[in-house]
Amino acid sequence: MDKLIIQGGAELRGEIWISGSKNAALPILFAALLTERRVKIANLPHLHDVTTTIELLGALGVTVSIDEKMHLAVETQTLTAVTAPYELVKTMRASILVLGPLLARYGEANVSFPGGCAIGSRPVDLHLKGLQAMGAEIEVDQGYIKARSAGRLKGAHILMDTVSVGATENLMMAAALAEGTTVIENAAREPEIVDLANCMNTWGAKVCGAGSNTLTIQGVEKMLGGDYKVMPDRIETGTYLAAAAATGGRVKVTKTDPSALEAVLLKLKEAGAVITQGDDWIELDMQGRRPTAVNLKTAPYPGFPTDMQAQLTAVNAVSQGCGRVTETIFENRLMQVQELNRMGANIAVEGNTAVVTGVDELKGAPVMASDLRASAALVIAGLVASGETVVDRIYHIDRGYECIEEKLQQLGAKIRRVPN
């Protein structure tokens, strides 16, 4: 198991490009199961979760290959199984997204309960209720969700109890091949939902309303396939901008989409950053200043994303003043606080709120990552701390950041990966 060693104290300066979005790539890969011809997917990030998804497709018998342009080709004609095994599903919560496409296309799916980051309960009941509303028969047996459909799923009117990105994606994919029209109310509005809908429509689906809280999916008999390019990763974008803000640096990120990051950019501006942007780039300049603490509360899109909460907590830790960070999406997503305090941060947890009083200096220390975004927060803290920080259990980071140490090195960070 690798670890990162960081010598802090350097301002981040320079330019890097942003990888494809992990949170868009995974459902798009699973959506390929809906198609009858080969699909080609471009701009896939080289991440552990993407590799796991490809392995899962392979376990189903799907043929996956990479061409000379590093585009992934997926052919479902060779599918031989409808069971997503525990050995693969246990490492990644997004594996539940195989359920809807398999059931819709093949009338049967067996999926182990998923694993992933320990950031709180993410129940699958919304997925299952929606599929049952479309006529699926579902039972849970020995840790597996077993779903069946007698013929095509039926269009249904689904009102979700709470906003769920995963459930919205799963039900949208299932509805694509259902008989009739499905309406999903209280749907998630994230840009990754829009990207999935655009991809599915490119391949022959009829999805309307993506980006709003009501989706209308007119079922089709077949989805043929085609080519698609995954959107840029807005969370990777925000993470590098937050790192630049914490270190007082100046960083330009390219191959990104500023329109998907408005809530984060607003908070970075509040922290004192000067931000300029174009169609596919963002530049953040702290002009050598220390950031100012900000208050934030996570919320479903277009609110402040829970996936950026830990990174802004780290920025607040070295800011002037006191900021309150309230987490409303996951109950265990303030786990980075204990490790940040070990580095000299002054953070008190009150329920689901972290009260962060900025300190003049953090000090390097050995720290341990507890989940993907907490890992990024610890890296940011290490970049600004005096002395050496060792971040252990970085397999979490590799689930969501492509070549993070190499990109940071391009910005002047003193960071290296070493084996344990």
Residues labelled as active-site residues = 117
What tokens appear for 75 in the block?
């052919």
Nearest alpha carbon to residue 264 among 291, 221, 225, 301: 301
Instruction: Tell me if residue 333 falls in helix, strand or coil.
Output: coil
The sign of the CA dihedral 375, 26, 144, 178 is positive
Name the DSSP letter for residue 68: T
Report the distance separating Cα 4 and Cα 379, nearest Å.
8
Q: Are strands 13-17 and 250-254 parallel, antiparallel or unpaired?
A: parallel
C-beta separation of 31 from 192 below 8 A: no
Report the distance separating Cα 267 and Cα 262, nearest Å.
9
Dihedral of the CA atoms 140, 145, 146, 148 (nearest 10)? 110
- The length of the chain, given as a count of residues: 420
- 403 phi and psi angles, rounded to 5 deg: 55, 50
Farthest CA pair distance, the chain: 64
C-beta separation of 414 from 10 below 8 A: yes
C-beta separation of 76 from 36 below 8 A: yes
3-state DSSP helix/strand/coil % of the chain, to nearest 5: 35, 30, 35
Report the distance separating Cα 95 and Cα 86, nearest Å.
10
Name the DSSP letter for residue 101: H
Q: Is 80 exposed, middle or buried (0-12, 13-18, 19+ CB in 10 A)?
A: exposed
Nearest alpha carbon to residue 271 among 243, 236, 235: 243
Paired with 216 in beta bridges are 183, 208
Cα 314 to the chain's mean position, in Å?
Answer: 19
Left (φ > 0), alpha (ψ -120 to 50) or beta: where does 290 sit? beta
